[in-house]
Structure 1
Amino acid sequence: MNDRDSAVAQALELVGARFPDALGAVLGGSVARGRATAGSDLDVAVLLPDAETSRREVIRHEGRLAELFLHTRADAPAHFARDRALRRGTILFVYDQGLPLTDTVGHMAELREHARAVIAEGPPPLTEAEWFRGRYVLTCFMDDLTDHPRTDRYEQLALADFTLREAVHLLTAHHRSWTGIGKWLPRRLLEADPVRGRALLEGHRAVAEHADPLPLITATGQILDLVGGPLREGYTQPWTT
């Protein structure tokens, strides 16, 4: 039995042991994509009867961490909508790309089709206020990175991290593409825009390895030009109470 088959068997056993009344389940994450490592956890979406409570749980099963996305049929659409609003689609992609484990009467297949439809629609566009704020915030980080002394490496690295994050936010939004955090940030970035995305990542690497901010500053400036240009004076943000 190979590692993937072993993970599938573990996931099936987990679902059967902890959720005997489950209507269906899929195994997503690195295992489903064939990118699992020895330390990869099990990402399992489980469809529960409506009498249950939707939730997210992290457990350990047979020595292996498992992250469980537990939904009822009634609640799942609302969770999909929230996932779309966050622009990352974490749960949506588990349903869409996961390996089928169980599906007693076809409800899981219906939800997977729903998830695919939401993914195809893409994340919601940014509002005008969100575009303005994004441009202003990214301009601030780019300016700080430009003016900051290279000798203070702690602060320079922190600025590079925030500059990359905000640039990815705007670039993926420009393409109406999904974004991500952690290891998913570079993956989603390169899917959205291989050329500009790689320039941002290489720029961030230049700061990390050589204390050279210029490539990241240049790549960031190109992103700002793409979405309306840098924004400094003239920016206004109303306070809400």
Structure 2
Amino acid sequence: MSDHVQDQDAFRAAASRLVAARHPHALGALLGGSAAQGRATAGSDLDVAVLLPEGDHSGREVVRHEGRVAELFLNTVADLPEFFAWDRARRRGTVLFLYDQGLPLADPHGHVARTRALARQVLASGPAPLTPEEREYGRYALTCYTDDLADLADLRAPGGAICTDPATRYEQLSVADHVLREAAHLLTAHRGAWTGIGKWLPRRLLNADPVLGEALLDGHRAVAERADPVPLAAAAEQVLDLLGGPLREGYGHRWKP
């Protein structure tokens, strides 16, 4: 047996012990995240979905188990349809993907199998599209951030010398983060694809649009490594072009309490 399989078995065993200790009445459970995909490292946490009977409470718990951080995604069977609808609406599908890609730990009554089937049905329908208001706000926000990034590019020394001023570098890095996140949000929505945060942002972005996604990520790296905002600003402008172009004057919205 390879070390890879042994490590995965060890994670499954640890997750099973965790569920038995904290939720012995659970209807079923599965292991998700890096551990389920064979990508876990020494510092990886445990992502565990736990199905609970009616009368219990849905939620999330973060605990330390056998020296490792573990995050438990708790859902009652009755709450699942509404929860999955909410997970789809925010377009990240965190728990939906956990059930789709996770490894069952226990399923004595078939609840996990039925839940996985429901999750896959919701995932197949794709993420919820942006509303017109969300789309226009996204265009406006990305336009503002891209304009800021272009202004910071103009501060480079003649000949394109790397900017060494600490205050300007802080601003470049902060604005670049906002440009990447907003552009990824809009591009994945435009492609009808799921989005993500943290390490899942580049994964989902590249899956949605390998060419433009890579241009955004390479542009972000250019800001970090070379203090050069130009490639990221150019990639963000391509995203805006897909959505009707930059949006500045003419944008407005009403505040709704």
Is the structural similarity TM-score above 0.5?
yes
Aligned to 1:93: 97
Aligned to 1:130: 134
Aligned to 2:181: 165
Q: CA shift at 1:78, angstroms?
A: 1.2
Aligned to 2:242: 226
Matched, 1:75 2:91: no
Residues 29-83 of structure 1 deviation map (CA, whole Å, 9 limit, x = unaligned)? 0011111010101100010111211110001111111100011110111111111
Matched, 1:25 2:29: yes
Aligned to 1:183: 199
Matched, 1:15 2:19: yes
Aligned to 1:215: 231
Alpha-carbon RMSD across the aligned residues, in angstroms, is 1.0
CA distance in 2, matches of 1:156, 1:147: 10
Aligned to 2:255: 239
* More moved, 197-206 vs 124-133: 124-133
Match of 1:232, SS state, is coil
* More moved, 137-146 vs 77-86: 77-86
CA distance in 2, matches of 1:51, 1:137: 43
**Structure 1 segments (4+ residues) deviating >4 Å:** none
Residues 121-165 of structure 1 deviation map (CA, whole Å, 9 limit, x = unaligned)? 111111111111110100000001101235410011101000000
Residues 4-23 of structure 1 deviation map (CA, whole Å, 9 limit, x = unaligned)? 11101101111112211111
The unaligned stretches of length 5 or more in structure 2 are 157-164
CA distance in 2, matches of 1:174, 1:50: 38
Aligned to 1:104: 108
CA distance in 2, matches of 1:187, 1:105: 34
The unaligned stretches of length 5 or more in structure 1 are none
How high is the TM-score relative to the length of structure 2? 0.92
Q: CA shift at 1:197, angstroms?
A: 0.2
Q: Percent identity between the aligned chains? A: 66
Q: CA shift at 1:214, angstroms?
A: 0.8
Matched, 1:196 2:228: no
